[in-house]
């Protein structure tokens, strides 16, 4: 009758486990993916928060250079000036700009609603109403606009614009 592993076998297995990491086992057991499309928001507020975060993340972290401009105030960096002027620097602005230039009127209207909501800071209902949507369905239309924009933003590859290349070359 066998009672378990021998002491030599147990020691050999312990030595073998000492040299391995748990990374492979951890990777095999980890089933949750952390990419954005698997964690789509479930509410209007969730979509708005995600899109506002995306917009804010595109603002350059460095706003001023070390020198001063002609008026004696700190001069803006080239990247921040381009951001202020509304260049298509960044994936969110590129997504909104592409939607605004679409041949489809629904897509253009969605871009307008999301632009007013995310960049302009107005409420979802007000953003939809500013685009001629009746009050009784403004929230539903705004929800559709942010949902479609969020999905488009998350699935569109980031286009590297010539303006971005110029800004990075100068900065």
Q: Please, what is the Cα angle at 152 between 111 and 35, to 5 degrees?
A: 140
- Answer left, alpha or beta for residue 86, where phi above 0 means left and psi between -120 and 50 means alpha: left
In a domain, residue 45? The reply is yes
48 pLDDT band, cuts 50/70/90, is very high
Q: Is residue 126 part of a domain?
A: yes
Residues 6-24: tens digit of each pLDDT:
888 888 887 777 766 666 5
Q: Is the predicted pLDDT of residue 162 greater than 50, yes or no?
A: no
Q: Does residue 164 lie within any of the structural domains?
A: yes
**Angle between helix 91-100 and helix 105-114 axes, rounded to 10 deg:** 140
pLDDT tens-digit map of 67-126: 776 777 777 888 777 777 766 578 888 899 999 999 999 999 999 999 999 988 999 999
Q: So what's the pLDDT on residue 115?
A: 94
Paired with 74 in beta bridges are 68
18 assigned to some structural domain: no
Q: Mutual orientation of helices 138-155 and 44-57 as an angle, nearest 10°?
A: 50
Q: Is residue 69 part of a domain?
A: yes
pLDDT of residue 33: 42
Residue 144 is assigned to a structural domain of this protein: yes
Is 4 within a domain?
no
Q: 127 is in which domain, residue-wise?
A: 41-170
Domain-located, residue 110: yes
pTM: 0.62
- Count the domains in the chain: 1
């Amino acid at each position: 009758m066998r009672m378990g592993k021998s002491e030599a076998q147990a020691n050999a297995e312990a030595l073998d486990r000492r040299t391995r990491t748990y990374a492979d086992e951890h990777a095999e057991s980890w089933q949750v993916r952390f990419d954005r499309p698997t964690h789509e928001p479930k509410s209007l507020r969730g979509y708005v928060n995600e899109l506002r975060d995306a917009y804010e993340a595109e603002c350059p972290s460095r706003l001023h250079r070390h020198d001063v401009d002609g008026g004696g105030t700190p001069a803006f960096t080239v990247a921040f000036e381009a951001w202020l002027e509304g260049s298509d620097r960044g994936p969110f602005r590129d997504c909104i700009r592409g939607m605004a230039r679409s041949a489809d009127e629904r897509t253009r209207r969605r871009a307008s609603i999301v632009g007013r909501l995310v960049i302009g800071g107005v409420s979802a209902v007000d953003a939809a109403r500013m685009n001629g949507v009746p009050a009784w369905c403004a929230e539903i239309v705004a929800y559709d606009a942010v949902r479609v924009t969020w999905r488009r933003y998350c699935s569109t590859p980031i286009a590297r614009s010539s303006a971005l290349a110029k800004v990075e070359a100068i900065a």
